Structures are given as C-alpha cells and as structure tokens.
Amino acid sequence: LLLSLGLLVDAAIIVIENIHRHLHAHDAADKEMDALLIEATDEIGAPTNIATLAIILTMVPMAFVGGMMGSFMKPIPYNVPVALIASLFVAYIFTPYLSLKLLKKPEHHSKHKHAKGEK
C-alpha cells in the first residue's frame, strides 16, 4: 500500500519540483507565471510519461500469475495502471493550476541588493 501511494504522488512531486526550480531560476522574473508553469510542466512531460509507462509494464506479469496467488493479485495489474494514469492527469492539470493560484514568483532583486550590501 505504501509503495502504491508513493507511485501515485510521484508524478505530482516531479512536476512541483520542476515548477519550483523554474520559479527560482534567474530568468523567472522575465516570464509570465502561466508561461513559466507551462514550460516547467512540458519540460518533464516525456520523462515522467516514460517512467510511468515503465511502472505500468512491470504490473503486466501479475495478470498471468495462476493459483491462489493469482486470485489475490488479479486486480493489481488492472487497477494500478488506471490509478497511475489518473495521477498523471492530476500532475499535469491540477498541479500547475494550483501552483498558479497558490505560488508566487520570488523577488530576485531583493537578494541581489542584500548581496551587494544595499538595504
């Protein structure tokens, strides 16, 4: 159960970490927030999709297990891919939207003033 929970939040964590990285980049002040979020999400889209597909493919052999263990494991290869694909949609749609509503770009100029000794 804990492993599955980790897999479900993995894509959203990857998206929010990349959004955070883009928000704190030196050129973040020059970009609009929505463009920055789209760029950050698009940048990690393909690797996240491939990683999720690899996890889904590891579930396929469970569909062919027989006997008593097979009846126990039968729902896993069908439910886990559905849940992982749903988590991708959440990561790509809701995470950037909530970031747009809840996060703000840091003010980079104040850091540079303090670094130079200005107040």
| Domain membership of residue 54 as a residue range | 2-116
- CATH at residue 109: 1.20.1640.10
Q: Are 18 and 40 in contact (CB under 8 A)?
A: yes
- Span 41-53, pLDDT tens digits: 999 999 999 999 9
Four-residue CA torsion sign, 12, 14, 20, 25? negative
- Span 17-34, pLDDT tens digits: 999 999 999 888 889 999
Structurally, the chain folds into a number of domains equal to 1
HEC letters along the chain: CHHHHHHHHHHHHHHHHHHHHHHCCCCHHHCCHHHHHHHHHHHCHHHHHHHHHHHHHHHHHHHHCCHHHHHHHCCHHHHHHHHHHHHHHHHHHHHHHHHHHHCCCCCHHHHHHHHHCCC
Per-residue confidence band for 105, with pLDDT thresholds at 50, 70 and 90: confident
CA 38, CA 42: separation in Å to the nearest integer?
6
